[in-house]
Structure 1
Amino acid sequence: MAKRMRNALILAKTETTYGVDPTPTGAANAILCSGISPNMMSAEFVDRDLQRPYLGASEQLLASVKSELEFDVELTGSGTAGVAPAWGPLLKACAFGETVTESTDVVYKPVTDNIPSVTIFYYLDGLLHKMSGCRGTVSFELSPKGIPKMKFKFTGKYTEPTDTSNPSSVDYSAFQVPKVASTLNTPVWSLHGQTAPMSEFSVDVANDVIYRELIGASSVEITNRKPTGSVTFELNSIATKNWYQTIADGDTGSVSMTHGTVAGNIVVISAPKAQIYSPSYKDEDGNAMLSVSLSLIPDEGNDEISITVK
Structure 2
Amino acid sequence: MARSIKNTIVTAKVEATVGVDALPTGAENAVLVSDVSITPLEAQAIGRNLIRGYFGGSEQLVGPSSVKISYTVELAGSGTAGTPPAWGQLLQGCAVAEGVLATPARVEYMPVSTGLKSLTQYYYDDGVLHKALASMGNCTLSAKVGDRPVLRFEWTALDGGVAAVPNVTPTLTAWKKPVAMTKANVVDVTFGATYAAGALTGGTTYNSTGLELNFGNTVNFTPMLGTETVDITDRESTATLEMELTAEQEVALMADVKANLTKSVALTIGTVAGNKIIVFAPAAQLTNPRKSELNGKRLIGYDLRLVPVNGNDEWRIVVL
2:239 to 225, 229, 249: 229
Unaligned runs of 5+ in 2: 193-202
Between the aligned partners of 2:74 and 2:312, the Cα distance in structure 1 is: 25
Between the aligned partners of 2:216 and 2:51, the Cα distance in structure 1 is: 43
| CA 35–50 in structure 1, closer or farther in 2 if over 3 Å, else same | same
CA displacement at 1:239 relative to structure 2? 5.7
Between the aligned partners of 1:22 and 1:62, the Cα distance in structure 2 is: 27
Between the aligned partners of 1:206 and 1:25, the Cα distance in structure 2 is: 29
CA displacement at 1:243 relative to structure 2? 1.1
CA displacement at 1:241 relative to structure 2? 5.8
The correspondence of residues 115-154 of structure 1 with structure 2, limited to 5 A, is 115-154=116-155
1:44 aligns with 2:54: no
Q: Which residue of 2 aligns with 1:199?
A: 209
| CA 56–268 in structure 1, closer or farther in 2 if over 3 Å, else same | same
| CA 239–33 in structure 1, closer or farther in 2 if over 3 Å, else same | closer
Q: Which residue of 2 aligns with 1:280?
A: 290
TM-score (structure 1 length as normaliser) = 0.97
Between the aligned partners of 1:186 and 1:17, the Cα distance in structure 2 is: 40
Question: Is the partner of 2:97 in helix, strand or coil?
Answer: strand
Q: CA contact under 8 A between 2:188 and 2:210: conserved in structure 1?
A: no
Deviation per residue, 1:219-276 (Å, 9 max, x gap): 1100001111111010222267611111000000001111011111111111111001
CA displacement at 1:205 relative to structure 2? 0.5
Query: Aligned letter for 1:187?
Result: V
Query: Aligned letter for 2:142?
Result: E
Q: Which residue of 2 aligns with 1:264?
A: 274
1:209 aligns with 2:234: no
Between the aligned partners of 1:219 and 1:264, the Cα distance in structure 2 is: 37
1:159 aligns with 2:160: yes
1:251 to 261, 285, 308: 261
Question: Is the partner of 2:90 in helix, strand or coil?
Answer: helix
| CA 239–60 in structure 1, closer or farther in 2 if over 3 Å, else same | closer
CA displacement at 1:160 relative to structure 2? 2.9
Question: Is the partner of 1:280 in helix, strand or coil?
Answer: strand
| CA 240–219 in structure 1, closer or farther in 2 if over 3 Å, else same | closer
Q: CA contact under 8 A between 2:188 and 2:207: conserved in structure 1?
A: no
Between the aligned partners of 2:297 and 2:258, the Cα distance in structure 1 is: 25
Deviation per residue, 1:156-193 (Å, 9 max, x gap): 111331111011x3211111111100111112421344
The correspondence of residues 68-107 of structure 1 with structure 2, limited to 5 A, is 68-102=68-102, 104-107=105-108
Between the aligned partners of 1:119 and 1:25, the Cα distance in structure 2 is: 11
TM-score (structure 2 length as normaliser) = 0.94
Deviation per residue, 1:113-137 (Å, 9 max, x gap): 1101110001111111110110001
Between the aligned partners of 1:303 and 1:201, the Cα distance in structure 2 is: 18
Q: Which residue of 2 aligns with 1:176?
A: 176
Between the aligned partners of 2:75 and 2:222, the Cα distance in structure 1 is: 31
Question: Is the partner of 1:27 in helix, strand or coil?
Answer: helix
CA displacement at 1:197 relative to structure 2? 1.5
1:302 aligns with 2:312: yes
